[in-house]
Amino acid sequence: MSNDEFRRQTGIARLASDLRTAKIELLSAQCATDRLRLQYSVEDIVSFGERQALKGAIASAGALCRFFSSLEDQLKQAEQRE
């Protein structure tokens, strides 16, 4: 195995590991969101929630949505080519 091929395989393994870690962290975030959603009304969260924390969470959720929508589009294209 050449040095470049070894680096590529190592990078692929790291990507797979990072993806599994991200999946677990996203599941944790989803659980935290579900706890908020089940315990409080949207009105209470907006009225009594810390504004900066709420805006930060909204920005993070938006960034995640854009990133995973992009991945989803690419995945659909790859599946159509197969």
What confidence tens digit (pLDDT) does each residue in 31-45 have? 999 999 999 999 999
Letter string b/e over residues 54-79, b meaning 16 or more CB atoms within 10 A of that residue's CB: eeebeeeeeeeeeeeeeeeeeeeeee
Residues 54 and 82 in one domain: yes
Total structural domains in the chain?
2
In terms of residue numbers, what domain contains 21?
Answer: 1-39
Residues 50 and 69 in one domain: yes
Tell me: pLDDT of 1 over 80.
no
Residues 50 and 5: their CA atoms lie apart, in Å, by 50
Residues 46 and 82 in one domain: yes
What pLDDT was estimated at residue 2? Answer: 87
Residues 77 and 49 in one domain: yes
Instruction: Show the DSSP H helices in 40-50 as ranges.
Output: 42-48
Residue 6: CA count within 13 A, CB half-sphere: 3
What pLDDT, in 10s, does the model give residues 2-16?
888 999 999 999 999
Residue 69: CA count within 13 A, CB half-sphere: 6
Residues 59 and 82 in one domain: yes
Residues 11 and 47 in one domain: no
What pLDDT, in 10s, does the model give residues 41-65?
999 999 999 999 999 999 999 999 9
